[in-house]
Structure 1
Amino acid sequence: MKPIWIVDDDPSIRFVLEKALGREGWPIRSFTQTRDVLKALADTDNSDPARQPPQVLVSDIRMPGGSGLELLEQVRAQQPGLPMIIMTAYSDLDSAVSAFQRGAFEYLPKPFDVPKAVELIRRAVEESQREEEAEVQAPLQAEMLGQAPAMQDVFRAIGRLSQSQVTVLITGESGSGKELVARALHKHSPVSGGPFVAINTAAIPKDLLESELFGHERGAFTGAQTQRRGRFEQAEGGTLFLDEIGDMPFELQTRLLRVLSDGHFYRVGGHQAVKAHVRVIAATHQDLELRVKDGVFREDLFHRLNVIRLRLPALRERREDVPMLTQHFLQQSAKQLGVEPKRMGTMALHRLQAFDFPGNVRQLENICHWLTVMAPAQQIALKDLPPEVLGGQPLPAMGAASAALTALPENPVAQAVESAAALAEASPMSASQSGTADAGWLQDLGRHAQQLLAQGHNDVWNQLSQQFEAQLLRTALAATHGRRVEAASRLGIGRNTITRKLQELGLDDESFD
């Protein structure tokens, strides 16, 4: 792991943080003024352990020789992905707002509780490691994003079809990314050098669709003052993508069938056959077999289109991809708007993963754009999510446990232990009446915590935290048959984090196959 850099002119602050972070096994490098930091940043080298760049930078806001906010601006310009935590003894709103506006990861007022400061730095480290993993994977994910098994099946199919020009039918719900699949099929095909032309057959009026597809001759109808090339001719030597093919008018289906059968078509009002050297990819969100049975879609056309079928999963079927997609769309939205990318808090991300997304990936993209504009801080909290997400998965009833959950910082271990304490204080009857599905295990956790406290243990927090983390890791690795990268993705942590945690908890040699 790369070092944590601490910047503060107060030696006592540096000493406390160095000792606390050293106990975590993290490498540390300390500075007393901003110009030394900037000089060290300019001299970093990943290949040299002594000159590695920082994983996280923790800086005071007021120091001689330059402020932490000025340092933040310069660091963001040089290393935009580096999380930076701003410390200050001047806990005023202006400083906090200024820090967040300039892209700070978090704002830490002095005096601070050391365990909370360490936990904040841990979150920043995990965020930094996730960013690094995303950068490594970015070239492979330029077209489509997805680590879920269902998406991997789609990627494999695209790979197998890369040497073929066979007709493909893509099925999937609206907003699931069917056009992205079509574009990937075109890009990795023998006709990739030709054009990719898309047409949504449901979006064009029936009277105009024939001319849009096949073109028309001059004088073919009122207003046809010149000859016009249709989409088939525009796609010559490339790919024609027919989106929402299930909505194509029945009479036009016959003309499309003829083109697919013999490769010729006539412009509207024309008498000379035009040869079509075009690969056709079609897509629909409808059940074409049912449309055929209902007599609104030609069975022979269905069989012509259904040579190879690719089913694109709905987003609710690939929830493990939500964190990756969310990060991608937040970065994309920030770039479009010219602002710093925002980050999802743990609770907010969990709620997004629990949401069913009736509008699929397109809806998630819209939500990320909305959050980029509307969320007040750089880190998006649960309460910042749009109403359809919060309404789609109602918050638990506000009993003792859920009140504790909403008030706590976004740390799963802290949430579990402190929520358990709240439940333990409540009567068993009130906890059972709260209607929360988690009340049982939280009560058990609360009773276990009370037992340890009654026995005089002084490390209850560490004991329960380690048990909690170990159980989460065992469960996730069992569910993924020991695949660490997949387990880390589903838990919402970085690959380096899961490796480190397994080593710390003595689980590295356990088998989860």
Structure 2
Amino acid sequence: MTDTRSALIVDDERDIRELLVMTLGRMGLRCDTAATLSDARAQLAANSYDLCLTDMRLPDGSGMDLVAEISQKHPNTPVAMITAFGNVEAAVEALKAGAFDFVAKPVDLPVLRDLVRHALDLHEKRRTANNADPVATRFFGDSPAIVELRQTIAKVARSQAPVYIAGESGVGKELTARTIHEQGPRASGPFVPVNCGAIPAELMESEFFGHKKGSFTGAHADKPGLFQAADGGTLFLDEVAELPLPMQVKLLRAIQEKSIKPVGANAEINVDVRILSATHKNLAALVEDGRFRHDLYYRINVIELRVPPLRERLEDLPGLAERVLVRLAASQHRLVPALSPEALEALRAHPFPGNVRELENILERALALADGERIEASDLRLPKPAPAAAAAAVAGHSPVFGAPPLLPPQAHPAPAVPASVRATGTHAAIDPRALNPRDTASSRLPEYIEQMERQAIEQALQENRFNKTRTAQALGITFRALRYKLKKLGID
């Protein structure tokens, strides 16, 4: 068996077959040919191919059937349809059936060569993805942060201990939980994800533990809960910080005792469940504030796993974007577009508050808007920087406490701030002698100070890559004071 790439050419016209064999042979491909649908099926049963080119009309059937069969039975083999010139309907039908592209007769050789190159690249990417380690495939990248994550996932997957997955929205916390489940000894059992913030408080006990018929109004039959559904497998508690305190108590007992009591039942039921949990909030801070039970926190946080945000692994961005585009293009039966250098640079400069989920949305939108085979920066439609931050930069101000930023436009102009108003780290010191008495009595002054603090904190957070410890140091305040201000100002 050699490493030479191979192609199957299916066409009932001998001249076309010879032309295609000659062209692909010069590109280094070994070619098999078939003149009928039955011959093509026999060749596919006996050999594997890196590419298939098939005519639309065959003596014993339609090439469309062959496209569908290859897509189903040989998903790693890209297939392209040869159509009559101007037959757009046939080309569209071929793409819907699973063809990755089409070429019209008479065959334009430069177009054919480009098609073959794209097909070989697509085949290699599909083959690599299927043969790769599942963890490496799902968490792509060579950055230190993602390499450490892959290594940690491989370790904790072998354990039965509860895992707490910390990370911002969109980083892939549920994907992390699924990977831990699938790589562990419970892979054959169920994986049951639940968004704790989506269940009404009055229904939580019934949803988690189930209920008996007649236990409350509307309970017309016995219903198993989420713990029973996950028995023998994994229960993933997403947004666990949203659990109300009364439910936290009951959940703690269920985890400790490994048993549950359905609503209306007289006896407890034993359950064998591994608990994985996640939230984008700072769970340790919620424990300190008394909004999350410390005993439940230590029970679910036996192993803590942090999923890094995209801005901490920007070196993975080009490859990650390419993989997303390959997947999106395959689902839409389109050629994989390339990112222009300007588009890639624009992505690098974007803060990605929504992380990988936001990247996928941006690229899906760009794929729909792009006209050619390249995605330009204008196709990304990235949001522009906030007007206040841009104005502050133009004015030469840095929006931190030492240099108040400009306020955004308001319905009514705010009072001018005299020079005697200065920021001093944790509060603004104001010389009352410099203020207009009417302005002093106005409620606009506290609003102005609050707005000034808000913009300063948000700018400092961005400059310090949303690291709260460094942000507090940059602002000259304590970490506790920063936490208080974030809560007071509603900055999440």
Identify if the C-alpha distance between structure 1 residues 121 and 259 changes in structure 2 by more than 3 Å, giving closer, same or farther.
closer
Aligned-residue offset at 1:211: 3.8
Aligned-residue offset at 1:159: 3.0
Question: Quick check: 1:327–1:343 contact (8 Å CA) kept in 2?
Answer: no
Structure 2 gap segments, 5+ residues each: 385-492
Question: Quick check: 1:8–1:59 contact (8 Å CA) kept in 2?
Answer: no
Cα-to-partner distance string for 1:152-199 (whole Å, 9 max, x where unaligned) = 544433432344321110123344443343344344545556654443
Aligned-residue offset at 1:313: 3.9
Among 56, 65, 68, the residue aligned to 1:73: 65
Distance 1:84 1:183 in 2: 32
Q: Which residue of 2 aligns with 1:2?
A: 5
Q: Which residue of 2 aligns with 1:308?
A: 303
Q: For 1:2-401, what aligned pairs fall within 5 Å after superposition?
A: 2-5=5-8, 7=11, 9=13, 11=15, 14=18, 21-24=24-27, 26-29=28-31, 34-35=35-36, 39=39, 42-43=42-43, 53-58=48-53, 66=59, 70-78=62-70, 79=74, 81-86=76-81, 90-94=85-89, 96-97=91-92, 99-109=94-104, 114-137=109-132, 140-141=133-134, 145-149=138-142, 150=145, 153-189=148-184, 196-215=191-210, 230-232=225-227, 235-236=230-231, 238-261=233-256, 277-314=272-309, 317=313, 319=317, 320-324=319-323, 327=326, 342-347=333-338, 354=347, 390-392=380-382
CA RMSD of aligned residues (A): 5.0
Q: Which residue of 2 aligns with 1:435?
A: none
Cα-to-partner distance string for 1:273-298 (whole Å, 9 max, x where unaligned) = 76665432211121212323444223
Aligned-residue offset at 1:202: 0.8
Distance 1:349 1:228 in 2: 54
Report the TM-score, using the length of structure 1 for normalisation: 0.54
The code of the aligned residue for 1:283 comes to A
Secondary structure at the residue paired with 1:286? coil
The code of the aligned residue for 1:2 comes to R
Secondary structure at the residue paired with 2:281? coil
Report the TM-score, using the length of structure 2 for normalisation: 0.56
Identify if the C-alpha distance between structure 1 residues 230 and 144 changes in structure 2 by more than 3 Å, giving closer, same or farther.
farther
Q: For 1:354-503, what aligned pairs fall within 5 Å after superposition?
A: 354=347, 390-392=380-382
Structure 1 gap segments, 5+ residues each: 47-51, 335-340, 395-513
Identify if the C-alpha distance between structure 1 residues 85 and 200 changes in structure 2 by more than 3 Å, giving closer, same or farther.
closer
Q: Which residue of 1 aligns with 2:445?
A: none
Distance 2:106 2:149 in 1: 52
Secondary structure at the residue paired with 2:204? helix
Aligned-residue offset at 1:91: 3.7
**Aligned residues with identical type, % of pairs:** 33
Identify if the C-alpha distance between structure 1 residues 66 and 389 changes in structure 2 by more than 3 Å, giving closer, same or farther.
same
Distance 1:9 1:81 in 2: 27
Distance 1:225 1:76 in 2: 46
Secondary structure at the residue paired with 2:249? helix
Question: Quick check: 1:213–1:230 contact (8 Å CA) kept in 2?
Answer: yes
Distance 1:232 1:304 in 2: 17
Larger radius of gyration: 2
Distance 2:77 2:187 in 1: 38
Question: Quick check: 1:345–1:381 contact (8 Å CA) kept in 2?
Answer: no
Identify if the C-alpha distance between structure 1 residues 96 and 146 changes in structure 2 by more than 3 Å, giving closer, same or farther.
same
Identify if the C-alpha distance between structure 1 residues 382 and 169 changes in structure 2 by more than 3 Å, giving closer, same or farther.
farther
